[in-house]
Structure 1
Amino acid sequence: MRKFLLLASLAVAGGCNRSTPTATAPVPATAPVVTVVKPQRKTVQRVVEQPGTVQAFEEVTLFAKIPGYVRALSADPDKASHSEHDRLIDIGSRVKKDQILAELSVPELEEEFKQKEATARQYAAEVQQATKAHAAATAGVTAAKAQVAEAKAGLTRAQALYDRWQSEATRAAKLVTGGVIDAQTRDETVNQFKAAEAGKAEADAKVTSADAAVAKAQADAEKAIADVTTAEARLDVAKADVRRVDALRGYTRLKAPFDGIVTRRAVSAGDFTAADGKHSLFAVARIDPVRVVFQVPEADAGLVTAGQDVKLALQGLSPGGTGKVTRTSWSLDPGSRTLRVEVDLPNPEGKVRPGTYAKVRLTADVPPDWSLPAAAVGKANDEAVVYLVEDGKAVRVGVQLARGDAQTTQVLRFKRSGTTAWVDFTGTELIATPSASLSDGQPISVGP
């Protein structure tokens, strides 16, 4: 303990004899050297990259139109070398337009079709019969008109006899008065006149009768025409019934709507198909071409136009390919605020399958506007800012941005701290870069 206290005393004495060092003055900080740029009007090339999905160009689900039993599934000629259990139309079968996939059996429909055909034949016979009756009626009109002509000729002859004997009777009466002929001769002449008068009346009656016969024949002909029209109308109705039932018979054959591939089969031979629109039998997809569908955000939707070039990268397929924008939805989806864009991609060999993931890259030229290097634009308090060079200091101002790429950012207006007014860029502003190392009011040194 004594030794410890002695050593401690010596240490304290030695420390008291040391001199206190003099305080050193702070070294002034060196102002950072920055590069100064001015806004320039430039066209920015905007790159839009979005994920997409491959979809079938068309896909149709087939239902039964009429109820019935499945008679048989059609054979698949592309599967002739497979096992006998895999030779029918099934998923993966490539089909052609109007190729029959399956046939239904509806016996009562076949019987109804035969009945409608028989009815049509019956009405066709009635049309033929009515047509012949019309021809006969037309001939009757012609014959009646001939009788009228004959009767009129007889009337002319009777009128001539009447006129002759009337004249003879008048002359005979005068001759009797003059004593030239006797009364008996006059009476004979008068009797001849009366006979001619009766013949004329008979001829008149015959003409009237012949005219009536013509009217009746014409009426019969018109009725025959109406009968033909009626029979033809009945035949048209019968034929329409035949076509209707035949159209229903067509629904017993389920056909491929286009060239494609069967993606779903939910029926077998012997199944009963209900025409309720709820239970589909087949699904057929058209896979040449296919659609590559992707969504473009609202900010870039205005840059997308039909015919624009795009680069495609498909999952599992290398190398990628190129295409063109085929169509857009034009309007944005109100939920996601995105624009639906589609690219039609030829697929003759069927290598691109619907459902495949796609990566789409689209490049568009943005119209020229005031632009700055991307390094000159920073961020402070979640606000885009740039630093103006004024009196050797960096002055931070808020800035409104347009579009940009990795190297350039388009700017619209700026606003000084503590103000509410936005000021348009003029191209004379001095902007410090890079902005990441600066703070508001910091002295700076402008480099070359």
Structure 2
Amino acid sequence: MTPLTKDLNPNASEPDEVSQMTRVTRGTGARILRLIAVIAMVLGVGFVLVSRGKNAAEARLADATSKDEAEAPAVDVFTVGRSLGKQPLKLPGETAAWNETAIYARVNGYVTKWFVDIGDNVTAGQTLAIIDTPELDAELLAAKAKLNASIAQVAVKQARADFAATTDERWRESPKGVVSDQERESKKAGSAEAIAELNAARAQVMLEQADIDRLSALTQFKEVKAPFDGTIVQRHIDIGNLVTAGSAANTTSLYQLSQNNPMRIFVHAPQSVAAQLMRPGATAVITSSSQPNLHIEGKVARTAKAIDPGSRTIRVEIDIPNPDRSLVPGMYVQADFELTGGASIQIPAAALLYRSGGPQVAVVDETGAVAFRDVMIASDDGNVVAIDSDLAVGDKIALNLSSQIAAGEKVKTSSGDTKSASVQ
């Protein structure tokens, strides 16, 4: 191509550039195809390897499963031993005050002062409040005035009786014929009447004095006093409150007083331990989850000696000292008993099987064969169960046995027998 031609056609070099770009594009596509082929080959090899590994794992698992199925299942066993004759028992309880009373007013009036509030410790005879009693004071003054009037009447009647007696004496000693017999009888009757009126006046004086003594006794209740040593747990009065005597349903008490030393613990024991175990004198240790350091020992003081038909329990009362008043009425506590005279055989609760025929245990013989025995539960403490019969010392019983194991099937026992410290 001549320069002239090149000048006349400036785009004469474009076919060469297009052909060069086509060659580059064709080379890039070939490389991509080769890369895709390599990736496909790698994925294929990986898939083959994974499949072979999975098949090998499944084969090994099948072999292990068949071997496990051929072997007897392993179970833990417990060897039955003789109990020491002591049975631990933990029961919930509730604290109650030794004495607790509501203090009511004995007179009508108004509260002028109160001296103690809730939480205060008081002693027997201590004044808690003072009540102003204007009506009672007026009644007492009126009664004293009536007494003075009655005493004056006695003096009048005494004078009349003395005069009637002397008159009767003069007329009785008069000679016959001077006075008539009728007049003598009349004077005698007048003397007897005067004496009777004197006795009536004296009786009225005694009656008025008794009324004064009654009102005077009521005035002593102006001061509300504590009947025993204790702690004020409620106060329902304030200065100026009108109080009414009595303890009717619509009458509010002034104070609630509680004696907290010693304390009573009420426990509801199950029927299984009511007759032979929960006798007065049994030792109990009182603890509380809210007070980790609380550890007070007490004794069973008394029982209800009757089973509650609703809960089939017997109410047991434990007396414990409480000098530091760490316990207050209404607390939830735990009572730990160590009872004697229980069943001679005790086993872990994990050994029990509850089936349609009742509670059972699985006894494992020397060959590993399982046999089920019906048992009778004497008492149940949650972790430990006392058995009355059908088990002997030395029997090996399975723990937590699967429900799929049938009678006569053999099991493999653990290397060492399980022992429970609470059963020993």
- Please say if residues 45 and 365 of structure 1, whose CA atoms lie closer than 8 Å, have aligned partners that are also in contact: yes
Q: 1:311 aligns with which of 273, 282, 285?
A: 285
Task: Describe the superposition over 1:208-251 as per-residue Cα deviations: whole angstroms up to 9, x where unpaired.
Answer: x3755553343223213321332233223323432443344344
SS across alignment from 1:109: helix
**1:287 and 2:260 aligned:** yes
Could you say which residue in structure 2 is the equivalent of 1:299?
272
Q: 1:221 aligns with which of 191, 196, 199?
A: 191
- Please say if residues 144 and 212 of structure 2, whose CA atoms lie closer than 8 Å, have aligned partners that are also in contact: yes
- Please say if residues 34 and 444 of structure 1, whose CA atoms lie closer than 8 Å, have aligned partners that are also in contact: no
- Please say if residues 343 and 388 of structure 2, whose CA atoms lie closer than 8 Å, have aligned partners that are also in contact: no
| Residue identity matched to 1:94 | N
Q: 1:340 aligns with which of 301, 312, 315?
A: 315
- Please say if residues 363 and 398 of structure 2, whose CA atoms lie closer than 8 Å, have aligned partners that are also in contact: no
Aligned length: 343
| Residue identity matched to 1:72 | K
**1:246 and 2:203 aligned:** no
1:126-205 alignment, distance < 5 Å: 126-147=153-174, 151=175, 205=177
Could you say which residue in structure 2 is the equivalent of 1:395?
371
Rounded to whole Å, the distance in 2 between the matches of 1:124 and 1:110 is 21
Where does the alignment leave 5 or more consecutive residues of structure 2 unmatched?
Answer: 1-36, 42-62, 414-424
- Give the drift of 1:313: 2.0
Could you say which residue in structure 1 is the equivalent of 2:88?
47
SS across alignment from 2:234: strand
SS across alignment from 2:322: coil
SS across alignment from 1:318: strand
**1:235 and 2:235 aligned:** no
1:290-439 alignment, distance < 5 Å: 290-302=263-275, 303-314=277-288, 315-316=290-291, 318=293, 320-366=295-341, 371=345, 373-374=347-348, 378-381=352-355, 383-387=358-362, 394-403=370-379, 409-412=386-389, 432-434=396-398, 439=406
- Please say if residues 54 and 291 of structure 1, whose CA atoms lie closer than 8 Å, have aligned partners that are also in contact: yes
Structure ID, larger Rg: 1
- Please say if residues 272 and 378 of structure 2, whose CA atoms lie closer than 8 Å, have aligned partners that are also in contact: no
| Residue identity matched to 2:232 | V
- Please say if residues 145 and 211 of structure 1, whose CA atoms lie closer than 8 Å, have aligned partners that are also in contact: no
**1:440 and 2:411 aligned:** no
- Please say if residues 313 and 321 of structure 1, whose CA atoms lie closer than 8 Å, have aligned partners that are also in contact: yes
- Please say if residues 131 and 223 of structure 2, whose CA atoms lie closer than 8 Å, have aligned partners that are also in contact: yes
Structure number with the bigger relative contact order (C-alpha 8 A, sep ≥ 6) is: 1
Identify if the C-alpha distance between structure 1 residues 52 and 445 changes in structure 2 by more than 3 Å, giving closer, same or farther: closer
Rounded to whole Å, the distance in 2 between the matches of 1:133 and 1:142 is 14
SS across alignment from 2:252: coil
Rounded to whole Å, the distance in 2 between the matches of 1:98 and 1:33 is 70
SS across alignment from 2:188: helix
- Please say if residues 394 and 432 of structure 1, whose CA atoms lie closer than 8 Å, have aligned partners that are also in contact: no
1:117-128 alignment, distance < 5 Å: 117-128=144-155
- Please say if residues 80 and 397 of structure 2, whose CA atoms lie closer than 8 Å, have aligned partners that are also in contact: no
CA RMSD of aligned residues (A): 4.3
Larger CA deviation: 388-397 vs 332-341: 388-397
Identify if the C-alpha distance between structure 1 residues 223 and 411 changes in structure 2 by more than 3 Å, giving closer, same or farther: same
Identify if the C-alpha distance between structure 1 residues 308 and 144 changes in structure 2 by more than 3 Å, giving closer, same or farther: farther
Identify if the C-alpha distance between structure 1 residues 71 and 333 changes in structure 2 by more than 3 Å, giving closer, same or farther: same
| Residue identity matched to 1:411 | D
| Residue identity matched to 1:378 | L
SS across alignment from 1:326: strand
Identify if the C-alpha distance between structure 1 residues 404 and 296 changes in structure 2 by more than 3 Å, giving closer, same or farther: closer
Rounded to whole Å, the distance in 2 between the matches of 1:214 and 1:348 is 83
Rounded to whole Å, the distance in 2 between the matches of 1:109 and 1:380 is 74
When the two structures are superposed, what TM-score results if normalisation uses the length of structure 2? 0.65
